[in-house]
Amino acid sequence: MSVLILAEHDGQHIKQSTRQAVTAAAAWQHPIHLLVVGADVSAVAAEAATIAGVAKVIKVEAPHLVHLLAEDVAAAVQQIAAEYQVIVAAHSTLGKGVLPRVAALLDVGMVSDVVEIQAPATYVRPIYAGNILATVQSSDAVQVVTVRATSFEAAANGANAEITSAAAPAAFGKVRWVSEQRNLSDRPELATASVVISGGRSLGEQFNTLLEPVAHKLNAAIGATRACVDAGFAPNDLQVGQTGTVVAPELYIAVGISGAMQHLAGIKDSKVIVAINHDPDAPIFKHADYGLVADLFKALPELNAALG
């Protein structure tokens, strides 16, 4: 029995979430195979083969896989699925799109957003916006599981796994990649950054001008609340929380954020939470390790100056 992990990459490098999925999959104590799907992924496969704990890397390459559509990736997983009893992916946009399709194609259920694995088929996963941890069990012959990457350490390098190829299934054809808009930033990736500074809607039009200099000095990723995104002060991909990105940094700084449960659901695993809010009764202070009752329009420039 082996475990298959759907690898995530940006066309050049394996993403951290795949390394974290490898650590999660070690719970089964079976050989781990990584599936790398894309148009030209030799370099990615070579990098995947170095991840400690990986026994084999399977490449599936075809020109139409240059943009990964969930239907095509699910077909690539399905064609080799018979060899596996466990199929895992990070609970990311890709994993959330592909694995339910894989489960449907295999006619099994799936378990999503797992934070703890009690192999072979018992899982702990958050429900009700992270307020309850449910322990669930799957009775399916094939376990299809997405894991919350931030709950697991990233596997380091240390392997020299075999790399093989599998043919790509024909393109699904009924879905077409049209375009993509990327917000290019030299900031660390929000989901994996070790420092995150997030702002609420109270920052208004000054969201960027106030947060950016501090984020730069702390080498932090920038996040936002949904209210801030909805108001148009921050782009959608910065949203942290239940319906945004779940973060687990060493340091999370919440600026002008009330601390709604949907926001807290995305920051609970942060090691240290610092809150700046002018309302001493703001709920965020109940969850913060350090709280500063202050006007953010004064406190942020002072923090920026203090950082030198």
Side chain identity at residue 47, one-letter code? E
The H helix count followed by the E strand count for the chain is 9, 15
DSSP three-state, residue 267:
coil
- Within a 10 A sphere around the Cβ of 258, how many other Cβ atoms? 17
201 is an annotated ligand-binding site residue: yes
Task: Please report how close the Cβ of residue 228 comes to ligand FAD at its closest, in angstroms.
Answer: 5
The answer to the question of residue 292 lying near ligand FAD (CB under 6 A) is no
Length of the chain: 308
DSSP tag of 108: -
Least distance in Å: CB of 21 to ligand FAD? 23
Q: Determine if 302 is a binding residue for ligand FAD (CB under 6 A).
A: no
Fill in the amino acid letter for 36: V
Q: Which residues pair with 182 in a beta bridge?
A: none
Q: Who's near 244: CB < 8 A, 6+ residues apart? A: 223, 226, 229, 238, 266
Give the DSSP per-residue string, 6-35. E--B-SSSB-HHHHHHHHHHGGG-S-EEEE
Among 262, 268, 269, 301, binds ligand FAD (CB under 6 A): 262
* Cβ pair 242, 266 in contact under 8 A: yes
Segment contacting ligand FAD by CB under 6 A, of 78-86, 117-125, 180-188, 253-261: 253-261
Which of 112, 242, 270, 304 contacts ligand FAD by CB under 6 A? 242
Residue with tokens 């559509």: 69
CB of 123 or CB of 207, closer to ligand FAD: 207
Residue 277 marked in a binding site: yes
The interface region with ligand FAD, picked from 52-60, 86-94, 152-160, 194-202 by CB under 6 A, is 194-202
Q: If binding is defined by CB under 6 A, does position 258 make contact with ligand FAD? A: yes
Segment lying near ligand FAD (by CB under 6 A), choices 30-38, 90-98, 151-159, 198-206: 198-206
- Where is the binding site for FAD, in residues? 201, 225-226, 239-243, 256-263, 277
- Where is the binding site, in residues? 201, 225-226, 239-243, 256-263, 277
Binding site residues, ligand FAD, CB under 6 A: 200-202, 225-228, 239-244, 256-258, 260, 262-263, 266, 277-279, 282, 295-297
